[in-house]
Amino acid sequence: MTLGITARNEQQQMKQRAFGVVLGLAMVAGAAGLMSDPASAYEEVTVSDGGTLTGVVKLEGVVPKPKGYNLTTLPDPYYCGRISDGEGWRILQPFNVGPKGEFREVVVYLEGIEKGKSFAEKEVPQVEAKDCLFLPFTTVVRDDQSVTVVNMDPVMHDIQAYETSNLGARVLFNVPLPMNPQHPRNFKDRTEAGMYHKHMAGPPMKELVKLSKGRRIFVMQCGFHAYMESWGVAITNPYFAKTDEEGRFTMTDVPPGTYKLVVWHPYIRTATERTVTIGPKGTVDTTIGVPAPTGRLYANEVLDHAYTRYNVTEEAKKEIDPLLQKQAH
């Protein structure tokens, strides 16, 4: 299959490269289900009779198509092209789904808990820029908590962070992400750039995530490499989890009661919710099906047909070698 994009898509890429804006892509982000404010401040107490909530999340339906980026229109095509499709395109698939529908890297959390166990995670969440990816793709933070971002690559990155909702976007911070000074400043040629696989941490950038009232979602994108995205959701209590490779999650020491269970993914407009009741020292296991979104989710969606004008030339294809990972569409 040859990858192509329309003229409108190419213009969208140009805007992303210039401004790093992902905003219209997922305005987002389950925003419809995430606009409510917590009723009161969470109180940390000892939980002696807490229960356990486990479960698995599955995506139901057809996995949405990924996004495609023409590497020749963005900086550092040879280094970042070490992960590409072999045709000069970098692929970003926001939906990490296993062969049996296991929905990975989605955030699951409980709402309606006013007091319970302490926040176990006292450390600042960290996002790494590695191989021209922001890892992890989804992050959980507390509002007014800082996030540390570290550049492991031998190329410069630029963090542009926004809080998002269906009401619009607001810039949280915009800072350069320097590389480790021990990395080579300039590669001799494209072969040297493509073969360089060393990762060393650059100076860590610690930035505060302070969201406006009623907003709980933010996104970070690289201003140089538009395919680098990392999404975050702010939680109000420590009862949350991210699904693993099998789509499973576990929450422990849940105070007895009835709560709202929310499943969040940044590219699904309406969060999936259900009511769960946890008994004293009880265990509840649940399977949650999340309907796959349909239609076109983003402007630069991978297409099944070619637009010759916007294809990567044969000469450029030879120069961009997926030495680290050859991506599939």
- Beta bridge partners, 95, equal none
Residues 108 and 284: their CA atoms lie apart, in Å, by 15
- Which conformational region is residue 319 in: left (phi greater than 0), alpha (psi within -120 to 50 degrees), or beta? alpha
pLDDT score at 138: 96
Residues near 119 by beta carbon (within 8 Å), at least 6 away in sequence: 44, 142, 238
Structure token pair of residue 106: 């989605």
Domain membership of residue 54 (yes or no) is: yes
Supply the range of the domain harboring residue 264.
7-38+47-319
Query: Please, which residues bridge with residue 85 across strands?
Result: none
Look up tokens 């399977």; give the residue: 287
Q: Across residues 167-183, what is the average pLDDT?
A: 88
Identify which has the larger pLDDT, 239 or 18. 239
Structure tokens at 29: 């982000």
CA distance linking residue 174 with residue 223, whole number of Å: 9
Residue 310 confidence (pLDDT): 55
Q: Could you tell me if residue 313 is inside a domain?
A: yes
Mean pLDDT of 86-106: 95
pLDDT at 235 over 50: yes
Q: How many domains does the chain have?
A: 1
In this prediction, residue 13 has a pLDDT band, given cuts at 50, 70 and 90, of very low
- Tokens encoding 321: 């070698």
Question: For residue 177, what are its two tokens?
Answer: 């992400």
Contact 60, 101 (CB under 8 A): yes
Q: Is residue 328 part of a domain?
A: no
Is 230 a member of any domain? yes
Rounded Cα distance between 55 and 263, Å, is: 11
Average pLDDT, the chain: 85
Does residue 58 lie in a domain region? Answer: yes
Query: Is residue 20 situated within a structural domain?
Result: yes
**Residue 18 belongs to some domain of the structure:** yes
131 is a domain residue:
yes
Q: pLDDT tens for residues 27-43? A: 445 444 454 444 458 99
Question: Is residue 53 over pLDDT 50?
Answer: yes
